[in-house]
Every structure is written in C-alpha cells, then in structure tokens.
C-alpha cells in the first residue's frame, strides 16, 4: 500500500489495515493483555487508585548492583561545590559529608542504571500497566539525607512533561528499606481520575505545587504512605497527586525513579531530563500510530531554555508567599 504526504511516497507495512489506525493502548486495551510481573488484582488496583506498592519486586543481586553504582556516583559528587546538570546538592554538601538531592539522569552517568532500566524485571512491571509495547522516557535518583531532605509539595507530574495520553508511569525503586519517618512517597488514591490541577500560581509562576484548598475532597482520607522494604517498587500514574515529607530518621532514603509510557504515547514538550535513551523501546515494538487522549494537558515552561529542577520552583512559591 502506498500513501503520500507533501509529495513524498511512502510504503506502509504489509500488515497495515485501517484497524491499525484505530488501535490505542488505553487502560481498557491494556487490561486485555496477560500480566507479567504482578497479579491481575494488583493491576486492577493500580488503574483504580493510580498508585501501587509492589514489595519484593527487585532481587538482592540487582539491589547490590544499584547500591554500588549509587555509591560510586555519590563519591563523584564530593568534588562538586554547587548544583549542576548532573548533581543537585542539598545544603551542607561537602567532600567530607556529601549530601545530594538528586542525581539527574542516572542512566546517562553509569551503565548499571541503564541496564536496570532496560532489561531488569522493572520492564515487565511497566508492561503490565503500559501495555506490551513500552518506551523509556527519563530517570532520576532522588535522595533524602538523614535528618534532612526537603519536603516535596503536592503535585502532579504530567504537566511538567505532557504526552498525547496518560499512560506514562513513574516507577520508583527503594534501594533501602523505607519507613514512615524517612520521607516516603505519599499519594492520594483515585486522584488520577480528577481534573488536572494547574502547576502555576495566580501570578503565572510555575511552582509545581497544589495548595491544600485545591486538593480533592476528603483527600486526607485517601492519602497513603508508600513505604516498603528494599526492593519495593512504588508506581505512580502520571496524573495522580503525590508528594513527600522530610526525612526525620537517621537513615538515608535513596529512591531511583524511572518513567515509562506506552510506545504510542508521544511527548509534545521538551523533555526536562533528556538522555540518549529518551524514547527507546524497552519492550515490544515501536508504535506506528500515536494514541491521543481527548483530555487536554497544561503546558510547562519551555525546558529547552533550561531546567532548574522542581525544588527551585517550589522555593519560588515559598518566596512569593513570604513576600505577601
């Protein structure tokens, strides 16, 4: 079959049909596929609540490799004196006592992180909630140092990196045990079904924050603390409202976060954390047709002009409030 676009003749795949044009990977389509790494009940729970903890998903060997890679990157940060495109530093960071908020795009800086993101059991988990064809989007390794780690205000992710649908999922890996005092992820169950909130304040500043008076009704009753032992995965749909508190414990909380989407989900804003692996298909086949959810999505600032990270934007909100 031949088709043309602006005078360019293209050959469509031999198995192309008009039904191909209508194929999507919305939740109803995903649920038609067998699960690979979780139970059917767990997948149903994820789609119903927008969040899920899978304990024991990552084995001891993978955890050991990820911890080694993390330690090597922390050691590299000792020579860094101010935040840059790789390391986001916490106040008090120094060579003798490194304190990080984030390693940006760990898949770029250590091969173990990409091997894990592309070929570990996490890929099957992503396929269970994104469908059999899965793309990698970006990654970060967030830290909350003992007796520190800044609070992360309530927010939704997708407004920072909008896609043509709402299949993107963030899968967090607790590299160490994470209890309630360590600043675990907090999520509001069912909030992914609510209308998206604006990540801008009334003055038009991007603050990546939802004020409590704009939270869903009875949100306190629906908030869960996503704690778990080392090797647990914390899944967040891109629309679900979530945040975290400071680390009040004596133990560090390293949390590796990888974002995946259905292969037919297309980003339409600049990736704030780009890498050479952005858009790599890690399971199944590349998409030939994009999936378009009819619900719109707020656009972020133009990240191609620079991305300073979420904490800086939330500090801007606090600065504005204190000046009022």
The answer on pLDDT for 281 being more than 70 is yes
Q: What is the pLDDT of residue 26?
A: 78
The answer on pLDDT for 61 being more than 60 is yes
Q: What is the mean pLDDT of the chain?
A: 90
Closest CA to 226 of 189, 252, 259: 189
The answer on pLDDT for 313 being more than 80 is no
**Prediction pTM value:** 0.90
The answer on pLDDT for 316 being more than 80 is no
H/E stretch holding 40 reads helix 40-49
Return the minimum-mean-pLDDT range out of 104-118, 124-138, 304-318: 304-318
Residue 23's pLDDT band, with cuts at 50, 70 and 90, is low
Q: In terms of C-beta density within 10 A (0-12 exposed, 13-18 middle, 19 or more buried), how is residue 253 classed?
A: buried
Residue written as tokens 């927010």?
155
Q: What is the pLDDT of residue 3?
A: 35
Mean pLDDT across 188-197: 98
Q: What is the pLDDT of residue 5?
A: 32
Q: What is the pLDDT of residue 318?
A: 47
Q: How far apart are CA 283 and CA 132, in angstroms?
A: 6
The answer on pLDDT for 91 being more than 60 is yes
Mean pLDDT across 64-85: 97
Please give the C-alpha separations between residue 197 and each of 36, 58, 167, 266, in angstroms, as whole numbers. Answer: 33, 33, 18, 21
In the chain, % of residues over pLDDT 70: 88
Please report, to the nearest 10 degrees, the dihedral formed by the alpha carbons of residues 303, 309, 313, 316 taken in order.
Answer: -120
The answer on pLDDT for 198 being more than 70 is yes
Q: How far apart are CA 78 and CA 261, in angstroms?
A: 34
Residues sharing a CB contact under 8 Å with residue 69, sequence separation 6 or more, in sequence order: 106, 110, 112, 113
Q: Mind giving me the DSSP string for 139-175?
A: EEEEEE-TTB---EEEE-SGGGS-BSSS--EEEEEES
Q: How far apart are CA 248 and CA 227, in angstroms?
A: 14
The answer on pLDDT for 16 being more than 70 is no
Domains of the chain, CATH where assigned: 42-323 (2.60.120.620)
Q: What is the pLDDT of residue 19?
A: 44
H/E stretch holding 117 reads helix 111-119
The answer on pLDDT for 12 being more than 60 is no
SS3 state of residue 307: coil
Q: How far apart are CA 30 and CA 271, in angstroms?
A: 25
DSSP H helical ranges for 162-288? 219-222
Q: What is the pLDDT of residue 24?
A: 60
Residue 274 is encoded by which pair of tokens? Answer: 């780009």
Mean pLDDT across 44-70: 98
Q: What are phi and psi of 261, to 5 degrees?
A: -150, 165
pLDDT digits 0-9 by tens, 237-272 = 999 999 999 999 999 999 999 999 999 999 999 999
Residue 324's pLDDT band, with cuts at 50, 70 and 90, is very low
Q: 166 near 293, Cβ under 8 Å?
A: yes
**What value, to the nearest 5°, has the Cα angle with vertex 309 and ends 307 and 313?**
100
């Amino acid at each position: 079959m031949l088709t043309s676009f602006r005078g360019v003749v293209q050959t469509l795949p031999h198995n192309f049909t008009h039904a191909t044009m209508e194929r999507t990977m919305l939740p109803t389509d995903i649920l038609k596929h067998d699960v690979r790494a979780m139970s059917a009940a767990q997948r149903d729970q994820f789609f119903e609540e927008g969040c899920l903890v899978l304990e024991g998903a990552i084995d001891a060997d993978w955890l050991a490799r990820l911890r080694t890679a993390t330690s090597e990157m922390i050691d590299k940060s000792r020579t860094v004196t101010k935040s840059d495109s790789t390391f986001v530093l916490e106040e008090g960071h120094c060579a003798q006592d490194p304190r990080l908020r984030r390693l940006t795009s760990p898949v770029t800086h250590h091969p173990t992180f990409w091997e894990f993101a592309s070929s570990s059991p996490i890929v099957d988990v992503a396929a269970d909630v994104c469908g059999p064809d899965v793309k990698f989007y970006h990654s970060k390794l967030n830290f909350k140092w003992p007796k520190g780690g800044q609070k992360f205000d309530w927010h939704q992710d997708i407004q920072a990196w909008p896609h043509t649908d709402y299949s993107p999922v963030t899968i967090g890996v607790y590299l160490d045990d994470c209890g309630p005092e360590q600043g675990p992820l907090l999520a509001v169950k069912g909030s992914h079904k609510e209308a998206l909130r604006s990540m801008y304040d009334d003055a038009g500043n991007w603050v990546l924050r939802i004020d409590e008076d704009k939270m869903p009704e009875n949100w306190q009753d629906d908030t869960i603390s996503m704690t778990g032992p080392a090797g647990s995965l914390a899944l967040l749909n891109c629309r679900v409202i979530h945040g975290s508190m400071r680390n009040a414990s004596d133990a560090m909380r390293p949390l590796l976060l990888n974002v995946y989407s259905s292969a037919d989900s297309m980003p339409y804003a600049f990736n704030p954390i780009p890498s050479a692996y952005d858009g790599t298909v890690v399971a199944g086949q590349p998409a030939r047709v994009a999936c378009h959810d009819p619900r719109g999505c707020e656009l972020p600032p133009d990240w191609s002009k620079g991305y300073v990270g979420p904490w800086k934007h939330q500090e801007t909100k606090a600065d504005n409030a204190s000046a009022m």
